[in-house]
């Protein structure tokens, strides 16, 4: 097998420990190794990787290849950050006995993902501490939309069942305060139920998936080249990151790499997406503690970046730029000059914003020690991205799994251990500094050549994992191809799905009026979670 040398020690250890118990081991790409094994091997496989190789379970999902193998498949995707590779355990689930054993008690990070498999594929969870519906709400009929025998055009009857009932929290002086699912702001729906005694929050319950769009099912009914536009719609503020992760997965199934210039331009767009979102979030965090002046300055900076986005790509949110095999548009000399001018203007303007916030003692007082997510809790919940880095988790796919042009630039990943709102703001600040430096390096090293290569017809029944470090955190797209240049399965993993449950821990002991700023400091996507 053509495999990364860094992965060989872990691979050899697994093969020695579970000798003869893997039915197949395959490495379709040097950093992506697949193991086929029975369900009873899952717990031991996971424990071995966690304890000995410091791996983490980054995604768990199902596939329905029953027409070919008379079984469902479960996929457990482990990232070995230090070895820069992924181990994927594939487990068959018999069609006549659709059930699987939960890992949530040992790996809390997969709680929602296991329940989503149960909802979408009808695979019964065994031993899960809370096997209630997750992705499908309680009043849905008994259907499983990601099974192959579920027709996309099925018209479901009006929902008349029992609505979701939150757990009751009892005790002297305990009150429950509902917020949502319809909010006063222009945001998507999410339901929060606070249990408080006096002012401190004792317990917070979440209910998401009010805006489920059936995106993964839609991918199965489109020509693969049309999937790029669908990927852009998964989460509007991460349009380019999701589209690039999708393109990366498709390119890996085709065995084709985007040209160097295209990879460089993808990196430019990913960092511009990071910059405009981080600036906007810094301003919004200030708004939630009544520092509106700082937000006005931030919005002015964000607007300038969005206008340059439109100049470079034709769209303020960078839509329409990504495509299979590279990018749609090249940057002419005038575009590069505009980007250089933006960076020259942005650095002192952003520094002025930083100083404005730093000099506000009232802002610091509201942000420091508010919404603390302890490092051990962040680790147990599998928190990713900027929220994880503010809580001591030193992980970043740009560095650990270099994609696009990131192997050609130097940058530092900011990591803090305090885990409060202040540090989540500071991570954003430091990442903006690093992003401007990355953009300057890319422009200095921008290769010549084409910006797109042709992928040709995709071979059927190929699988691949595509990934990008988006501005919120890591994004994964896993695909299995079908005949006719289509997809049999596309699994989407947005960082928000991983991070929402952690807010229930970060808010404990705080007061309800601090929830807006704690929530904004994570700034998670309803759309990316619901899909």
Half-sphere exposure of 286 (CA within 13 A, CB side): 24
Between CA 390 and CA 460 the distance in angstroms is 42
What pLDDT sits at residue 341? 96
SS3 content of the chain, % helix, strand, coil (to 5): 45, 20, 35
Give the pLDDT of residue 316. Answer: 96
Q: Which helix (H) or strand (E) holds 59?
A: strand 56-63
Answer for the pair 90, 74: CB distance below 8 angstroms, yes or no: yes
Instruction: Provide the residue-wise pLDDT of the chain in tens; the chain has 531 residues.
Output: 689 999 999 999 999 999 889 988 899 999 999 999 999 999 999 999 999 999 999 999 999 999 889 899 999 999 999 999 999 999 999 999 999 999 999 999 999 999 999 999 999 999 999 998 889 988 888 899 999 999 888 888 888 777 778 888 888 888 888 888 888 777 888 899 999 988 899 999 999 998 888 999 999 999 999 999 999 999 999 999 999 999 999 999 999 999 999 999 999 999 999 999 999 999 999 999 999 999 999 999 999 999 999 999 999 999 999 999 999 999 999 999 999 999 999 999 999 999 999 999 999 999 999 999 999 999 999 999 999 999 999 999 999 999 999 999 999 999 999 999 999 999 999 999 999 999 999 999 999 999 999 998 999 999 999 999 999 999 999 999 999 999 999 999 999 999 999 999 999 999 999 999 999 999 999 999 998
Q: Under a CB-based contact definition with an 8 Å cutoff, are residues 34 and 88 in contact?
A: yes
Residue 138's pLDDT is what?
84
Q: Interior CA angle at 284 toward 280 and 288, to 5°?
A: 175
Other C-beta atoms lying within 10 Å of the C-beta of residue 182:
11
Partner residues linked to 195 by β-bridges: 176, 203
Neighbours of 416 (CB within 10 A): 17
Contact 59, 108 (CB under 8 A): no
Answer yes or no: are the C-beta atoms of 23 and 36 closer than 8 Å.
Answer: yes
Beginning with the edge strand found earlier in the chain, give each strand of the sheet holding 56-63 in spatial order: 24-29, 32-36, 85-94, 71-80, 56-63
Q: How far apart are the first and last CA of the chain?
A: 36
User: Do residues 250 and 324 make contact, with C-beta atoms less than 8 angstroms apart?
Assistant: yes
Rounded distance, CA 481 to CA 459, Å?
7
Going from the C-alpha of 91 to that of each of 40, 108, 232, 469, 476, the distances in angstroms are 9, 20, 31, 27, 20
CB atoms within 10 A of CB 229: 16
**SS3 of 352, please?**
helix
List beta partners, residue 74.
62, 91
Q: How far apart are CA 88 and CA 360, in angstroms?
A: 48
Using H for helix, E for strand and C for coil, what is the string for 117-173?
A: HHHHHCCEEECCCCCCCCCCCCCCCCCCCCCCCCCCCCCCCCCCCCCCCCCCCCCCC
Q: Name which of 275, 285, 271, 238 is nearest 420 in CA terms.
A: 285
**272 near 467, Cβ under 8 Å?**
no
Q: How far is the C-alpha of 442 from the C-alpha of 436, rounded, in Å?
A: 10
DSSP 390: T
Residues in Cβ contact with 235 at an 8 Å cutoff, skipping those fewer than 6 apart: 242, 494, 496, 525, 527, 528
Burial class (CB in 10 A: 0-12, 13-18, 19+), 384: buried
Between the alpha carbon of residue 111 and those of residues 50, 214, 351, 395, 414, the distances in Å are 17, 20, 41, 21, 28
User: In this structure, what token pair is assigned to residue 510?
Assistant: 């705080």
Q: What pLDDT was estimated at residue 20?
A: 84
Report the pLDDT value the prediction gives residue 155, as an integer from 0 to 100.
Answer: 87
How far is 32 from 39, CA to CA, in rounded Å?
21
C-alpha distances (whole Å) from 439 to each of 264, 267, 306, 405, 444 are 9, 8, 16, 11, 9
The Cα–Cα gap between 260 and 278 comes to 27
Q: Which domains does the chain have, with CATH numbers?
A: 5-126 (3.30.460.80), 174-207 (no CATH), 241-246+253-511 (1.10.645.10)
- Mapping DSSP to helix (H, G, I), strand (E, B) and coil, where does residue 444 land? helix
Q: What is the DSSP string of 34-54?
A: EEE--GGGHHHHHHHHHHHH-
**Whole-number pLDDT of residue 113:** 95
pLDDT at 492: 97
Q: Say how far apart CA 94 and CA 91 lie, in whole Å.
A: 10
């Amino acid at each position: 097998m053509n495999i990364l040398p860094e992965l060989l020690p872990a691979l050899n250890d697994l093969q020695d420990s579970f000798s003869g118990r893997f039915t197949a081991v395959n490495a379709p790409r040097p950093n992506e190794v697949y193991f086929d094994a029975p369900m009873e091997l899952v717990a031991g496989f996971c424990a071995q990787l966690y304890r000995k190789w410091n791996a983490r379970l980054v995604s768990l999902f199902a596939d329905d290849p029953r027409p070919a193998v008379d079984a469902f498949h479960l996929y457990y995707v482990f990232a070995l950050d230090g070895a820069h590779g992924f181990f994927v355990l594939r487990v068959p689930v018999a069609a006549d006995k659709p059930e699987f054993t939960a890992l949530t008690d040992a790996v809390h990070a997969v709680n929602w993902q296991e329940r989503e498999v149960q909802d979408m594929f009808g695979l019964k969870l065994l031993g899960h501490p809370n096997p209630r519906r997750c992705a499908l709400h309680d009043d849905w009929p008994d259907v499983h939309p990601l099974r192959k025998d579920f027709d996309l055009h099925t018209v479901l009857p009006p929902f008349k069942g029992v609505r979701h009932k939150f757990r009751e929290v009892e005790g002297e002086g305990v009150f429950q305060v509902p917020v949502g699912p319809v909010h006063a702001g222009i945001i998507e729906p999410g339901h929060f139920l606070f249990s408080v005694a006096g002012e401190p929050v004792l317990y917070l319950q979440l209910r998401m998936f009010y805006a489920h769009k059936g995106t993964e099912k839609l991918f199965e009914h489109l020509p693969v080249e049309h999937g790029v536009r669908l990927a852009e719609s998964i989460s509007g503020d991460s349009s380019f990151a999701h589209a690039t992760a999708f393109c990366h997965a498709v390119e890996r199934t085709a065995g084709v790499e985007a040209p160097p210039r295209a990879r460089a331009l993808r990196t430019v767009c990913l960092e511009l997406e990071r910059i405009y979102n981080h600036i906007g979030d810094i301003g919004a965090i200030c708004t939630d503690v009544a520092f509106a002046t700082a937000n006005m300055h931030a919005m002015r900076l964000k607007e300038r970046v969005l206008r340059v986005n439109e100049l470079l790509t034709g769209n303020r949110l960078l839509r329409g730029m990504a495509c299979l095999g590279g990018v749609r548009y090249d940057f002419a000399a005038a575009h590069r000059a505009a980007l250089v001018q933006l960076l020259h203007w942005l650095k002192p303007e952003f520094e002025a914003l930083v100083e404005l916030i730093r000099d506000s003692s009232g802002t610091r007082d509201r942000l420091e020690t508010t919404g603390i997510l302890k490092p051990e809790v962040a680790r147990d919940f599998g928190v990713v991205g900027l929220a994880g880095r503010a809580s001591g988790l030193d992980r970043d796919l740009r560095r650990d799994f270099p994609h696009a042009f990131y192997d050609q630039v130097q940058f530092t990943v900011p990591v803090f251990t305090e885990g409060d709102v202040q540090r989540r703001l500071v991570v954003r600040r430091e990442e903006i500094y690093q992003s401007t430096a990355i953009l300057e390096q890319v422009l200095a090293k921008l290769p010549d050549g084409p910006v797109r290569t042709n992928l040709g017809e995709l071979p059927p029944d190929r699988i691949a994992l595509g990934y990008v470090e988006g501005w919120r955190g890591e994004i994964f797209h896993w695909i299995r191809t079908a005949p006719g240049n289509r997809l049999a399965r596309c699994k989407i993993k947005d960082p928000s799905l991983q991070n929402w449950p952690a807010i229930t821990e970060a808010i404990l002991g705080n007061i309800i009026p601090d929830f807006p700023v704690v929530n904004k400091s994570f700034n998670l996507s309803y759309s990316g979670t619901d899909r």
